[in-house]
């Protein structure tokens, strides 16, 4: 069944034929992050795909994955393009290396999960929180609920983790 919801005034939808995305976001709706693990080569993958990017096997099993990692890069948006984000600048879009499977199958690969910086309840982070985060910041996954069968995974600062003395941020504030 098609899943359709409203998030920040944007319509988000997943078609009824889109099995991979339906499964991915249904697990997120349960606040229980899952990725596909290839039944052949056993590697996890992100984002959802039809076949394994490493061995092309079509067979995979949805597997719970710990939502913890480190910021690999980011963009800090000051001039929003989409109307939904106009009232939320500056906002951060983070590329986060999951601890799980980092450096596999080759040293520069990682499960790099894209999401915004939010507060623990999944609300886009305020400006003072945005300024605390950069490359190297330790983050944990939280969720923004959208509708039945859909929540967006998000990142928030992992307050229990050891943080770098000073995460790397772009030179100009």
Query: Which residues would be at the binding site for another protein (CB under 8 A)?
Result: 7, 10-15, 18, 21, 25, 46-47, 49, 53, 72-85, 88, 90-91, 93, 95, 106, 108-112, 114-116, 135, 152, 168, 170-172
Question: 11 or 160: whose CB is closer to another protein?
Answer: 11
Asked if 122 contacts 77 with a C-beta cutoff of 8 angstroms, the reply is no
Main-chain dihedrals φ then ψ at residue 28, nearest 5 degrees: -60, -40
Asked if 35 contacts 60 with a C-beta cutoff of 8 angstroms, the reply is no
Question: 106 or 160: whose CB is closer to another protein?
Answer: 106
Question: 160 or 172: whose CB is closer to another protein?
Answer: 172
Main-chain dihedrals φ then ψ at residue 121, nearest 5 degrees: -90, 10
Quick one: how far is CA 132 from the chain centroid? 19
Shortest CB 146 distance to another protein, Å: 9
Shortest CB 77 distance to another protein, Å: 4
Can you tell me the distance from the alpha carbon of 118 to that of 132, in angstroms, rounded to the nearest whole number? 12
Question: 74 or 157: whose CB is closer to another protein?
Answer: 74
Shortest CB 142 distance to another protein, Å: 14
User: Which of 116, 29, 32, 110 has the alpha carbon at shortest distance from 69?
Assistant: 110
Can you tell me the distance from the alpha carbon of 166 to that of 135, in angstroms, rounded to the nearest whole number? 9
Question: 18 or 158: whose CB is closer to another protein?
Answer: 18
Shortest CB 59 distance to another protein, Å: 18
Beta-carbon-side half-sphere exposure of residue 32 (alpha carbons within 13 Å)? 8
Shortest CB 111 distance to another protein, Å: 7
């Amino acid at each position: 069944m098609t899943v359709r919801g409203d998030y920040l005034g944007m319509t988000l939808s997943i078609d009824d034929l889109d099995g991979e995305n339906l499964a991915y976001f249904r697990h997120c709706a349960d606040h229980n992050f899952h990725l596909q693990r290839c039944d052949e080569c056993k590697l996890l993958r992100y984002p959802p795909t039809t076949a394994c990017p490493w061995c092309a096997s079509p067979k995979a099993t949805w597997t719970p994955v710990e939502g913890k990692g480190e910021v690999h890069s980011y963009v800090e948006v000051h001039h929003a393009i989409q109307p939904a984000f106009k009232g939320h600048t500056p906002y951060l879009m983070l590329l986060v290396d999951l601890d799980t499977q980092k450096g596999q199958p080759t040293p520069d690969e990682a499960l790099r999960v894209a999401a915004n910086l939010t507060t623990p309840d999944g609300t886009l982070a305020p400006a003072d929180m945005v300024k605390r985060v950069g490359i190297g910041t330790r983050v944990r996954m939280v969720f923004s609920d959208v509708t039945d069968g859909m929540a967006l995974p998000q990142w928030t600062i992992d307050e229990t983790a050891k943080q770098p003395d000073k995460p790397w941020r772009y030179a100009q504030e």
